[in-house]
Amino acid sequence: MSAAAAPVDFYFEFSSPYGYIATELAEDLERRLGRALRWRPILLGPIFKVTGQAPLTNIPLKGDYARRDFARTARMHRVAYRHPDRFPIGTVAACRAFYALDERDPQAARRLARSLYRAYFVENRDIGDAAGMLAVAKEAGLDAAALGAAIEDPRLKERVKGEVDAAIAAGVFGSPFFVADGEPFWGVDRIPMLEEWVRRGGW
Amino acid sequence: MSAAAAPVDFYFEFSSPYGYIATELAEDLERRLGRALRWRPILLGPIFKVTGQAPLTNIPLKGDYARRDFARTARMHRVAYRHPDRFPIGTVAACRAFYALDERDPQAARRLARSLYRAYFVENRDIGDAAGMLAVAKEAGLDAAALGAAIEDPRLKERVKGEVDAAIAAGVFGSPFFVADGEPFWGVDRIPMLEEWVRRGGW
């Protein structure tokens, strides 16, 4: 990866099927881009309050399409997928835990994110409550006790709020959402466009 | 094109930038698919009443992204684009005129559709009212007087209503929207997936 080029911001929500698929594709994507991805989990709940939007599966017609598309998009990318029984879920605990790790060890934060996503979208486990989230963290070899304390830490609560505000300021309204040199790309299906944009420096 | 394979339904709304771009790509797409596209203009207004959605540009954050994305998607595909001053517009007259032609001469209907789209999305002309729409039809060498009568014909009014109802029954919620052998694909950015699906017969 080029040390000179700025990282590409990679926003995702832990309850988002397309966000999950994007994290599974992220390492290959970094290699193809020649740029690091900066993983930034966000909460779509407060963002939907700004946009007036709703979770995909709650929207007539679009919801049916989305449920079919989650699974076929995962199959196309050879990513395991099982639509969770409880969907969507609140992911504020997962977000706080991610940033608690990310401040000192970004690779551990990525490991947590991948483990949480697979627990939710492959194993149908509930990562929406703190106990379920921490159980997954522990199995991933992370310090669940420290994370349990971190998610109650007012500083991390503020950190997550700040990340959501920053995402809104950057124009983020969905998951996954990439911003490369100020240029926004929404959705797994826009990854090819992101790659071409970075390669050509825009058009 | 294979005579045996069923056509792929191609739904679009005349006020949709992505629908316009899709029509510009449609002939090459037919060749690559080896399947005919069945052009079916629809009205997103009544469909949005079912889904509770709104025109893209009216949605906070998503609207800013959409305006930027209309232009860059057009440039990527080397399609001329100028965002119209009046947007979105009602397109019921355009729809009725399309189906009036389509019943006897599908190629003439396609010519009208392409002319209307270019008038609106390149020349910034208003095709939302009957007079503006008919002026474009006349310049395209079509019988404007006959089309002017057709758009007042109760049978064609019912035809358009029927097409919108059929689109809703097929799960259509946006533009462009393709349905190949019952499988739905929404958006210009899903054309590669549609192609791969048809080539592989699904996955």
Q: How far is B40 from chain A (nearest CA, A)?
A: 18
The yes-or-no verdict on residue A153 having pLDDT over 50 is yes
List CB contacts (< 8 A) between B199 and chain A: none
Residue in A54, A75, A186 closest to B65 by CB: A186
List chain B residues with pLDDT less than 70. Answer: 1-4
Token pair, residue B151, equals 């758009």
| Cβ neighbours, 10 Å, residue B20 | 28
Cis peptide before B176 (omega within 30 of 0): yes
Which tens digit of pLDDT belongs to each residue from B187-201?
999 999 999 999 999
> Taking CA atoms, what residue in B is nearest to A63?
B51
Residues of B with CB under 8 A from a CB of A: 47, 50-54, 59-62, 64-65, 68, 72, 75-76, 168, 171-174, 184, 186-187, 189-190, 192-193, 196, 203
- pLDDT score recorded for residue B81: 98
Between chains, do B184 and A65 touch, taking CB under 8 Å as contact? yes
The DSSP 8-state label assigned to residue B102 in this structure reads H
CB contacts < 8 A (A, B):
70
List CB contacts (< 8 A) between B187 and chain A: 189
Q: How far is B46 from chain A (nearest CA, A)?
A: 13
**Cα dihedral across residues A184, A28, A78, A198: positive or negative:** positive
Q: How far is A103 from chain B (nearest CA, A)?
A: 29
| Cβ neighbours, 10 Å, residue B176 | 25
- pLDDT score recorded for residue B184: 98
CA distance A22 to A14: 11
Backbone angles phi, psi at A120, to 5 degrees: -80, -45
| Cβ neighbours, 10 Å, residue A193 | 19
Between chains, do A171 and B64 touch, taking CB under 8 Å as contact? yes
- pLDDT score recorded for residue B2: 47
Between chains, do B62 and A190 touch, taking CB under 8 Å as contact? no
- pLDDT score recorded for residue B5: 84
List CB contacts (< 8 A) between A47 and chain B: 61
**HEC profile of chain A:** CCCCCCCEEEEECCCCHHHHHHHHHHHHHHHHHCCCEEEEECCHHHHHHHHCCCCHHHCCCHHHHHHHHHHHHHHHCCCCCCCCCCCCCCCHHHHHHHHHHHCCCHHHHHHHHHHHHHHHHCCCCCCCCHHHHHHHHHHCCCCHHHHHHHCCCHHHHHHHHHHHHHHHHCCCCCCCEEEECCEEEECHHHHHHHHHHHHHCCC
Residues with Cβ < 8 Å from B43, sequence gap 6 or more? Answer: B13, B91, B92, B95, B160, B164
CA distance B40 to B26: 13
Which tens digit of pLDDT belongs to each residue from B20-49?
999 999 999 999 999 999 999 999 999 999
C-alpha dist (Å) from residue A61 to A87, A189, B160, B201: 17, 20, 20, 24
Q: What angle do CA B132, B138, B144 make, to 5 degrees?
A: 85
Rounded average pLDDT over A73-80:
98
List CB contacts (< 8 A) between A172 and chain B: 61
The DSSP 8-state label assigned to residue B7 in this structure reads P
Q: How confident is the model at residue A4 (pLDDT cuts 50, 70, 90)?
A: low
List CB contacts (< 8 A) between A164 and chain B: none
Between chains, do A53 and B75 touch, taking CB under 8 Å as contact? no
- pLDDT score recorded for residue A5: 84
Query: Longest C-alpha distance within chain B, in Å?
Result: 49
Residues with Cβ < 8 Å from A149, sequence gap 6 or more? Answer: none
The yes-or-no verdict on residue A154 having pLDDT over 80 is yes
Interface probe, candidates B42, B56, B61, B65, chain A, greatest A C-beta count within 10 A: B61
Which tens digit of pLDDT belongs to each residue from A188-201?
999 999 999 999 99
Rounded average pLDDT over A164-176:
98
Token pair, residue A137, equals 């963290």
- pLDDT score recorded for residue B4: 61
Arithmetic mean of pLDDT over chain A: 96
Which tens digit of pLDDT belongs to each residue from A92-151?
999 999 999 999 999 999 999 999 999 999 999 999 999 999 999 999 999 999 999 999
CA distance A167 to B202: 36
List CB contacts (< 8 A) between A52 and chain B: 54, 59-60
List CB contacts (< 8 A) between B170 and chain A: none
> Taking CA atoms, what residue in B is nearest to A73?
B193
Backbone angles phi, psi at B202, to 5 degrees: 90, 180
